[in-house]
Structure 1
Amino acid sequence: MAENPNLDTPTDLKANQLKGVRDALNQVLADSFALYMKTKNFHWHVSGPHFRDYHLLLDDQAQQILGITDAIAERVRKTGGTTLRSIGHVQSLQRIQDNNADFVSPQDMLQELRADNQRLIEGLRVVKEQAEAAGDNATSGIVDEWTDQAEERLWFLFEASRNT
């Protein structure tokens, strides 16, 4: 159940089984926001001979990451939980580290984003495990698409970093 009765959402799934699902989803949501911001940061600050290719790649990836955030948060709410409320809340949960460096080489950007997408994939696999254990078929099914998208981003970053 939600912390506030006004936010209760009906579900036939047991609240104690869903706690792990909601916690894992909120963790992935925080990581998604952190990864979105870092990807946009690198998109804005990439430079060098592959500028156009990397600039477009990172913009596409950022849009894709942002595109799943609402679905993740809505899954938390559909399962009777509450989700992130602020940047501070994101910061308290995120496992993906910010990068505030004045300059990051394009090669280092791609490598860092590869590692971050891998970390997100690991979090998505935890969501899948928790959802299956709770009998939450909807979350278990939708997380497959999010995992596939993250794996594709990782693949593109890997291939792009091989040629620099």
Structure 2
Amino acid sequence: MADSKALQTPTDLNRNDTKSVAEALNSALADSFALYLKTKNFHWHVSGPHFRDYHLLLDDQAAQIFAITDAVAERVRKTGNTTLRSIGDIARRQTVKDNDSDFVSAADMLAELRDDNLKLVESFRAVKEAAEAAGDNATSGVVDEWTDQAEERAWFLFEASRKG
């Protein structure tokens, strides 16, 4: 078994402080992966009169969520910590709940994903708070964009689900 100290990236940040940032980032990353897979699940299984619109919306949103995962994980590594290693690791950390239902109506899909994106916003706010407490201005700065993207996804899902 290799020495984990070999993975300690050089940083001027306090190791104890960055551990709390890494924990918050890894939690947000687990939620991002869970939300990505749920969004793809709903993309694959959406049905109804707005199928095409929702199918395309969910595919775009899934791609946006997946696109940030590497940046989140690399931010953990840049602070000298380790990140997620497996599906089991994701499952242990995620707060976004899976949905294994055989059928979910399109309206319920949009509402659930809206709420899950808002849960991800909460995760990103926890990252922001930990980063600022640790003096990690790079993480504090980059998490703002991820928060804005999740808020935008929630807004789009809300607007797409409005009646009349």
What TM-score do you get using the length of structure 1 for normalisation?
A: 0.97
Give the 3-state SS of the residue equivalent to 2:60 in structure 1: helix
User: 2:124 matched to 1:124?
Assistant: yes
Q: Give the aligned partner of residue 75 of structure 2.
A: 75
Q: Give the aligned partner of residue 89 of structure 2.
A: 89
Cα distance, 1:163 vs structure 2: 3.2
Deviations 1:95-116 (A, max 9, x none): 0000000000000000000110
Q: Partner letter of residue 126 of structure 1?
A: A
User: 2:41 matched to 1:45?
Assistant: no
Q: Give the aligned partner of residue 29 of structure 1.
A: 29
What is the alpha-carbon distance in structure 1 between the residues aligned to residue 78 and residue 163 of structure 2? 44
What is the alpha-carbon distance in structure 2 between the residues aligned to residue 98 and residue 48 of structure 1? 22
User: 2:1 matched to 1:6?
Assistant: no
Q: Give the aligned partner of residue 56 of structure 1.
A: 56
What is the alpha-carbon distance in structure 2 between the residues aligned to residue 19 and residue 82 of structure 1? 9
Cα distance, 1:19 vs structure 2: 1.2
In structure 1, stretches of 5+ residues that fail to align are none
Percent sequence identity is 72
Cα distance, 1:136 vs structure 2: 0.2
Cα distance, 1:5 vs structure 2: 1.1
Aligned pairs, number: 162
What is the alpha-carbon distance in structure 2 between the residues aligned to residue 28 and residue 163 of structure 1? 32
What is the alpha-carbon distance in structure 2 between the residues aligned to residue 113 and residue 12 of structure 1? 38
Cα distance, 1:18 vs structure 2: 1.0
What TM-score do you get using the length of structure 2 for normalisation?
A: 0.97
Q: Give the aligned partner of residue 109 of structure 2.
A: 109
